[in-house]
Amino acid sequence: MNMTRKTRVDEVSQYYKPAAQIGFVIFLLFWVTALLSLYMPFSEKLGVHFQNILQSVFIVFVIAHFATSQINRFYLIPRAERMRRKQMISDAFGTNLSHDKTSLYYNNEYLPSVNRLGANTIENALFSKEVVASMLCSKRIITSGYVAIWVLAFALRHNNLEILTWITQIVFSGAIIAQWMNLEVLRFRHENTYEQLHYHFLHEISENSPRAVATILDAFVAYESAKSSAGCLLSSKVFNKLNPEITKKWDQIRQELNMNFQQDAALNGDSAGASSPTVS
């Protein structure tokens, strides 16, 4: 996922843009709906006609929020992830599963092989867990603030049940508590995938062994299933901010895992006509 070498090409990113744009629309619709739901109990003072209009507008926004949420979660995001997965497998095995081109998206020197798939996966897991961890810093603060307001509202024994109900609806909706928990679980699962593959490459398990193939495939499936179950996009702003730092960290990890050394050995072995692992 390096962005610092030569010219980086990533045509797959075009599939994430509609999902990100719809995600912003969903965010706006949620808060518009929330504000309308807060105002509706007090709309009786403005007359029946205005109340009916407000209720109709509220229904429209609720349906719009539901529809856009489902389109994003079950179509736009899965489509983007499917195209990224095809690109990842294509890069790992040196074949084309789609017409979308990428160049310098992955930063490892393995030749097309199962080991390259493992290297791509551990690189993705590293970047993803670091980005999610950064996103969680602000998410935890925001969530704690909402929970504190909710607890304070009940502690003050506010007589307006409409306000208490509204605050409860906001705090325990899918936009506050659920999003925070979703990111926590996603970070945990990406960390597990990273640790699993780090152990695998650290101990230099033979690429051709059934155990090596099974371990890499298990980690790849775990990484992809974590993204699929989360059903959310990582912040491109956070990624772009952290990318130089994480890329430097990844370069250091590659050296510690002897990935460059293995590539040299593989090339030397091939030139000598010996059977050697296709790794770097």
Residue type, 23: G
Q: Specify the range with the lowest mean pLDDT, choosing from 145-149, 152-156, 247-251.
A: 152-156
Distance CA 200, CA 63 (A): 48
pLDDT of 220 reads 98
Mean pLDDT, residues 236-245: 95
pLDDT of 146 reads 93
Q: What is the pLDDT of residues 71-108, one digit of tens each?
A: 999 999 999 999 999 999 999 999 999 888 888 888 88
Q: Which residue has the tokens 């797959």?
A: 12
Could you state, in order of their start, the residue ranges of all structural domains in the chain?
10-81, 114-274
Are 129 and 139 in contact by the 8 Å Cβ rule? The answer is no
Tokens of 116: 């390259």
Helix, strand or coil, per DSSP, at residue 235: coil
Q: What is the pLDDT of residues 153-205, one digit of tens each?
A: 888 866 677 788 888 888 888 789 999 999 999 999 999 999 999 999 998 87
Q: Report which DSSP code applies to 272.
A: T
Q: What is the pTM of this model?
A: 0.85
